[in-house]
Amino acid sequence: MMQFVSGFGTYVIPFLVILTVLVFVHELGHFWVARRYGVRVEVFSIGFGPELFGWTDRLGTRWRISLLPLGGYVRMAGDGDVASVTKGPIADADRQHSLFAKPVGQRAQISVAGPLANFIFAIIVLAILFATAGRPFTPPTADQVIDDGAAAAAGIKAGDRFLTVDARPVQRFEELQKIVQESPGRPLAVEVRRGEQVIAMTVTPRASEITDRFGNTRQVGLLGVRSLKIETRRDNPLTAVWHAGTETWNLTIGTLKALGQIIAGTRNSDELGGPLRIAQMSGEVAQGGLVATLWFLAVLSINLGLVNLLPVPVLDGGQLVFYAAEALRGRPLGDRAQEYAAMVGLALVLALMVFATWNDLVHLKVVDFIGRLFT
């Protein structure tokens, strides 16, 4: 805790820089698509609250830096608020340039453009990393073999590198783990490279029972090997983009699975972090160098895109739900319904922020520190 307080500038400045970049990318997605469809963007703001400084471009958009640098927004003609839920009064001369005068399909594209920009940005950042610093991966090598494990019983030795498992080629240790965990008690044909030899054998993963927080049990397979090395491969620009897209997809699916496990109770909700933990991690990765910072930037960009796609009013996903309802009904939802939905959505977002911040305080041992002050 005291280390975090004493290094306040070390954590806060990288956090604000990273957040500003991600918010700019997100809002730029909305801005660019809105402009393409002829919607007049009145304000492009980084941060909320009073304007610190800004300028107005030739098309009338006010670009501004605001006092509270914890987010941002674009306000388009016809918006009644920064969430684009309620409609403000629209002058006849401005009606054709209003967001709500556009077809529902175009409005949906404007909403989804922000999260999409975050995913594209993550792919670009990862592609640059893969083409320059290289792509890290865990090789499918048995660096350690547990004496009484399934691998040892099958004759696998330390240093063996898995080539295929169950007739499927494996290039990363995680791929090996996935196949094994899905095959408890089932014999698997494997090929390993040992020195200059390729050896075929059969291994049967040991069945292990795990229990979630609700008492539900399931079986997974265990092989009894560990990989302790990290390798890197530098890609050419074309394959770097391909692998960056694949990595972005894997990170997205992994995040969704983790969120689903937290909701289902099979994963500890303490892992859900908020702004304080992100600030701490921002400072730590910034001290780790440019490569670590860019990795963190890409991962956060993916998470920002995912969060904004949640079907919660005041988020882009909530707007998409409104537009889907409008497309089905043939007319928009009433202003009252949108206002109530926005209030519920805002309450959910605030509750999530409070919960995540509490987790941060516990993680950073702030709660224990405050408790000691009053004991």
Residues with active-site annotation: 27
CA angle 274, 280, 285 (to 5 degrees): 120
Q: How far apart are CA 125 and CA 299, in angstroms?
A: 10
Residue 130: both structure tokens together:
């893969």
With beta carbons less than 8 A apart as the criterion, state whether 132 and 219 touch.
no
Residues 6+ apart with CB under 8 A from 373: none
Q: How far apart are CA 62 and CA 65, in angstroms?
A: 10
Among 98, 90, 82, 121, smallest CA distance to 37 is for: 98
SS3 labels along 120-140: HHHHHHHHHHHHHCCEEECCC
Residue 219: φ, ψ to 5°: -105, 140
Q: How far apart are CA 71 and CA 23, in angstroms?
A: 6
DSSP-derived secondary structure letter, 87: B
132: left (phi over 0), alpha (psi -120 to 50) or beta: alpha
Q: Which residue is it, tokens 């709500």?
A: 100
Identify the helix (H) or strand (E) that includes residue 46: strand 41-56
Residue 58: φ, ψ to 5°: -70, -20
Kind of pairing between the strands at 144-145 and 225-226: antiparallel
Secondary-structure breakdown of the chain: helix, strand, coil percentages, each rounded to the nearest 5: 55, 20, 25
